[in-house]
Amino acid sequence: MTADNSAALAELEELIAACRLQNKEHKKTGNKEALALGLEQLKELSKKKTELLPPKIKGEAGAKGDQGKMKKTEAEKVEDEAKAFTLKTPKGTKDYDEKDMAVREQIFSKITSIFKRHGAITIDTPVFELKEILSGKYGEDSKLIYDLEDQGGEKCSLRYDLTVPFARYLAENGVSNMKRYHIAKVYRRDQPAMNRGRMREFYQCDFDIAGTYDQMVPDAEAVRVMSEILTSLDIGSFTIKINHRRILDGMFEVCGVPADKIRTISSAVDKLDKMTWADVKKEMVEEKGLSPEVADRIGEYVKLKGSRELCDKLDADAKLSGNANAKAGIDDMRVLLRYLEIFNVLPRVSFDLSLARGLDYYTGVIYEAVVNSSPSVLNGEPVGVGSVAAGGRYDDLVGMFSGNKKIPCVGISIGVERVFTIISGQRDRSTIKSNATEVYVIGLGEGFLQERMQICAQLWDAGVKAEYMFKKKPRNLQVQFEVCDKEQIPLAIIVGKQEVDNGVVKIRKMVKDNVDSVDKEVTVERSSLVESVQKLLKAI
């Protein structure tokens, strides 16, 4: 071993010790991603160390020398830590426990009932599609698509959204009109930000109207559905920003954006909810080669927001209203905003020229809802907290599959993961009841397992939700009562020797306030047990 080596080794030893200490901390705080990173570093360091060791020691697996022994322990330790580490879900995904699920089911149930209120049916498509179905639909984001390994057979990818599979479904089955909702998971290999509800596996709740209808009529219903849902979800006040792709295109044209730069400049405008205008302008000019004057003209337009009066203002702008695209878009907006007034959602809507939306396939009206509370601030300017719902019109997507036949569509997607994050933050987890159990059947003394089973079977036959402890002889009454408390079970049925001998049971209301009222516990015949329980449950 050279002197150099020995110094380098000493340094590595220190780094390894520090790394291991940090990993321990990550394990304690449950920061799995940092831990993963730390374990990777540890492996790297350990590998480097092995390389620095003299060949003889490196080669001898079972060497008894100090170094060899140390080396083996090192490798084993890393291996052990790595093994322990694999007990996790893949990056960007998570498990939902029973309390999460109770909250999630409430959210889904509210959303579903509103979709159904508007006559939507639901369909289901596979979680993966042929790879070629998805390709060429998502622009720059296509790199985020998960591909399945080629194991012989077709090339498949996990769905990136529910819209493209819906378009494929319409084209494949020759369906020319449909009002459908679809609640399902989609997959994006994006950089996860779990605490803000951005994950690689997440739910989308989509509602779309396909069909050739009159101007802005289905569009208005889509916005109304969005508003009904966000109102029902208790996420506080919100604003639905609306804009139109053709107004954007017209605006870019009159500002002097070259035709081949319109999509990329539109992408830059789309970042205005996360970045300041100064930064967006910088991107336009420095990265995308737009002249500063053109950017400034765009800057004036994207400041504009308002309601129905903004249509008049834009119409009065001779240059803009002289552009065919812009003119058509303004006309659509005028009709839409009138319909939204009829639907009583106009007060929640902001016609906002800075809204662009990233996806390529939109062709008409676009919208995005943001919650108004707690705006984040970036460089002193307020920026949005991210959208909780979005959507728009996409008239050409189905045609990409059906060839000749064009089926116009308009839709919305509710960002349930973000909604879930907001609502979970408001709830006290200990108050969430995650099971539906109504009755807990408790055994005294010898336990009376078979009697408890009999009673449960009676209750189940009548549809009553009942449980009992899976022990022949539960330790005591108290542990069984504790289950009722913990699981928020409203009724307990108690059987002991006396009850069995007399063919009766005791029913106790498991009220939390501990008032020892006379009717807290009643004794009833086994034969009228179900009836009594049902009566008590109804009263609760």
Annotated binding site for L-histidine: 161-163, 188, 204, 208, 357, 361-362
Q: Could you say which residues in the range 132-171 bind its own copies, by CB under 8 A?
A: 132-133, 146-151, 153-154, 156, 158, 168-169, 171
Binding residue ranges = 161-163, 188, 204, 208, 357, 361-362
Which one of 183, 220, 230, 284 is in contact with its own copies (CB under 8 A)? 220
Q: Distance between CA atoms of 183 and 106, rounded to whole angstroms?
A: 14
Supply 18's token pair: 């520090």
Q: Distance between CA atoms of 411 and 390, rounded to whole angstroms?
A: 9
Q: Could you say which residues in the range 221-240 bind its own copies, by CB under 8 A?
A: 221, 224, 228
Told to check if 276 binds its own copies by CB under 8 A, we report no
Q: Could you say which residues in the range 364-403 bind its own copies, by CB under 8 A?
A: 401, 403
Q: Distance between CA atoms of 273 and 356, rounded to whole angstroms?
A: 10
Which one of 17, 130, 278, 324 is in contact with its own copies (CB under 8 A)? 130
Which one of 20, 49, 71, 180 is in contact with its own copies (CB under 8 A)? 180
Supply 26's token pair: 């990550």
Q: Which C-beta is closer to its own copies: that of 67 or that of 488?
A: 488
Closest CA to 507 of 485, 488, 486, 530: 530
Q: Distance between CA atoms of 314 and 194, rounded to whole angstroms?
A: 41
Q: Distance between CA atoms of 4 and 49, rounded to whole angstroms?
A: 13
Q: Which C-beta is closer to its own copies: that of 201 or that of 279?
A: 201
Q: Which C-beta is closer to its own copies: that of 302 or that of 349?
A: 349
Which one of 18, 342, 378, 511 is in contact with its own copies (CB under 8 A)? 342
Residue whose pair of structure tokens reads 């086994």 in the numeric block? 526
The secondary structure of 427-441 as a DSSP string is S-GGG---S---EEE
Q: Is 449 helix (H, G, I), strand (E, B) or coil?
A: helix
Q: Could you say which residues in the range 482-521 bind its own copies, by CB under 8 A?
A: 487
Q: Which C-beta is closer to its own copies: that of 220 or that of 353?
A: 220
Q: Could you say which residues in the range 447-466 bind its own copies, by CB under 8 A?
A: 449-450, 453-454, 457, 460-461, 463-466
Which one of 7, 21, 217, 278 is in contact with its own copies (CB under 8 A)? 217
Q: Give residues with Cβ within 8 angstroms of 362, minimum separation 6.
A: 245, 392, 393, 394
Which one of 55, 62, 119, 425 is in contact with its own copies (CB under 8 A)? 119
- Please tell me the count of residues contacting its own copies according to CB under 8 A: 93
| E strands in 32-81 | none
> How far is the CA of 318 from the CAs of 258, 335, 355, in angstroms?
20, 20, 22
Which one of 22, 50, 125, 307 is in contact with its own copies (CB under 8 A)? 125
Stretch that binds its own copies, among 10-18, 310-318, 378-386, 430-438 (CB under 8 A): 430-438
Q: Distance between CA atoms of 363 and 371, rounded to whole angstroms?
A: 25
Closest CA to 161 of 343, 493, 392: 392
Q: Could you say which residues in the range 42-101 bind its own copies, by CB under 8 A?
A: 83-84, 86-91, 93-98, 100-101
Q: Compute φ and ψ for 522, nearest 5 degrees.
A: -125, 150
Which one of 3, 318, 377, 436 is in contact with its own copies (CB under 8 A)? 436
Distance of alpha carbon 140 from the chain centroid: 22
Which one of 27, 48, 189, 406 is in contact with its own copies (CB under 8 A)? 189
